[in-house]
Every structure is written in C-alpha cells, then in structure tokens.
Amino acid sequence: MIFPYYVRLVVLCFATFYVAHTAIWLGVRGFASTGLRIARTMKPRMAARFLFALRSAPMVVSAFLVAGFCIPSYVWWEPDIAGERVGWICLASALLGISVCAVSLVRSGASIVQTERYLRRWRRESETADGSVESADMLVVQDCAAIMAVAGVTHPRLVVSQRVMEALSEEQRAVAIRHETAHRSSRDNLKKLALLLMPDAVPFCRGLGQIERAWARFIEWSADDEAVDGSQERALSLATALVRVAKLGVQSAPPYVLSSLMSHDDDLAARIDRLLREPVYAERPLKPLAAIPCNTALMLGWVAGTVLLWPGSLSGVHRLLERLVQ
C-alpha cells in the first residue's frame, strides 16, 4: 500500500515498536523463571523493584529504540516524497503494535474509571474517621465486604469497612494502617497502573502474569516489613490482623487501582510465617546485579551521544528500517 510521508512514519514507528517489543518480551518470558529465583534471594523491596524493572523492560527499551533510532533515522535520511509503498508485513506489524497499545490503554483507563466510581460511592456512604493524624484520610464504609485498602492514584485514600474496624483491636488497626501507609509511600498504586499500561506480545494475553503476581506478593511483604519495623509486638499484631480479616472472607482482587491489606488468601500462610520469624536472605544477594542499572544508563547515554554527535550513524538504522517497510 502507498502512504504519504508522515503516515509512513507512524506506521514504521508502530511496526518497529511491535517487532522490538515482541523480541524483548519473549526474552523476558524465557528469563522469567530465572528472574523469579533471583528475586527470592533479595529482600522484598529490592525484589519488587527488580521484578518491576524486568516487567517494564520490553516497553521501555522498545520506546527508546523508536524515539532514539526509528524517528531520527527516518527524518534524517528518508526523502520527503509524495508517497511510497509499505509492505504488508510492515503494515501487519504496525496494526499489531497499535492493537496491543490500545488494549493496554483501554485496560488501564477502565481500571481508573472503576476505581474513581467506587471511591465516589464510598465517599457518599462513608463517614470520615476521627482520631489520630495517621487516620485523618481514612474512609469508614458501611460495606458488607471486608475491605481495608489504599485506593486511587493521584490522591489515594485509605478505605476501611466497618466490619474490619470492629474485628480488629486498636493495636491491630494501628499496624494495619501502617501497612497501608507503606503502600501509599511506595506509590504502589501508581506502579500497578504502570503495569496495566504495559502491552503484551498478543492482545488480551497476559503472558508475563507470573512476574506481575510475584511483584504483587513482594510489595505486600515489603509493606509488612515497613509496618512491623523490627518490632516483634507489631509483627504479632499484624499477623493476628491478617487472620481476623481472612476469617471475615477474602474476595478476589477487583480490577481497581488499589492496594489491599488482603486481596486473596493464597499468600496468607507465607506472610504470617514471615511475620512470626525473621526472614533469611543471602548476605550479599547477587551483588553483580547492582551494576546493571549503572551499566544500562551508561550504555543508553553512549548511544544517545553517538546519535547526537554523529547523525551519519543512523544511516545503517535507516537501511534496516527500509527492509522492514518493504
């Protein structure tokens, strides 16, 4: 098919994004089992960061390739002629790239809309909790479900059902609030939204779900550690609070942007076991991994500097893109 100059650029960007994203996505999927074993040797906060970076790699690297190589090489070397033929393979890749990006945008947008809708309903049905400073933003809702969660992205609110308030003692409520405050401080809801924005290789297929589930488990462990802060008394109170909330009935996590005290009970035994004993980690968990972010930043800086100082280096990239277009 024949397209004008800037339409070809858009098609080429999405095609390049999809090809690069799929290749990196498949590499991450193949590395997933090893990555999960690596994460288990780390402390929860570092493990969560590592898995988040691993899951983000396909989109981040692909976007960098498009912005840093595809667009500059096309603008610099492609002649501005009225029209040029675009091959079916390139067009199909572009359509797939548009599809996976559109699905991720719709998925994240729907989650935001549902979260805001339920926050508005909870505000109408709630009464603002009085008392200490750390419960000043808490909404106590008359909801039949047992819920205690930080909901929202820009201005997250702590939402607690009356059933949970009545089931927990003062000490248990305090440490559970510390757990949710840790989620808010770490901006875990924003990270969950970012994960929803991450496209997959095939529309409607969450092929890296094991990494996302492991990440969700580690952020809960990290929030537990911050809530307890080395205190055995708080650890016992949080473990008891988890058991009492579980007895009220744990529902599966809804498609909202929220961080709940308990979204499912699959990890309940492991969390309680960690709270009642000191976790054991390697003293230097895979120290060579600490050099990866620095080396990656240096490599990206070197590539960007090369492109800016020597535009002729983009000619080779342009030749590769010409093959893709054909």
Instruction: Give residue-wise pLDDT tens across range 74-101.
Output: 776 666 655 566 677 878 888 999 999 9
The predicted structure's pLDDT at residue 7:
77
The predicted structure's pLDDT at residue 214:
93
Q: How many CA atoms are closer than 13 Å to the CA of 47, on its beta-carbon side?
A: 27
Lowest mean pLDDT among 109-113, 181-185, 256-260: 256-260
In the chain, which residue ranges form alpha helices assigned H by DSSP? 5-40, 44-65, 71-77, 88-125, 162-167, 170-185, 188-197, 209-228, 232-248, 268-276, 291-309, 314-325
List Cβ neighbours of 82 (8 Å cut-off, separation of 6 or more): 4, 5
pLDDT score of 16 more than 70: yes
Winning range, highest mean pLDDT, from 65-79, 214-228, 309-323: 214-228
Could you give the percent of the chain with pLDDT greater than 90? 30
CB-based contact 58:24 (threshold 8 Å): yes
**pLDDT tens digit string along 194-240?**
999 999 888 878 888 899 999 999 999 999 999 998 888 899 999 99
pLDDT score of 128 more than 60: no
Q: How far apart (Å, rounded) are the C-alpha atoms in residues 206 and 189? A: 19
The predicted structure's pLDDT at residue 136:
47
The predicted structure's pLDDT at residue 190:
92
Could you give the percent of the chain with pLDDT greater than 70? 72
The predicted structure's pLDDT at residue 315:
54
Domain count, the chain: 1
Residue 129 binned pLDDT confidence (cut-offs 50, 70, 90): very low
What's the mean per-residue pLDDT of the chain? 79
Tokens (6 digits) for 299: 């490599």
The predicted structure's pLDDT at residue 102:
94
Give the domain range for residue 119. Answer: 2-278+287-325
**pLDDT tens digit string along 149-172?**
888 888 888 888 888 888 889 999
CB-based contact 219:48 (threshold 8 Å): yes
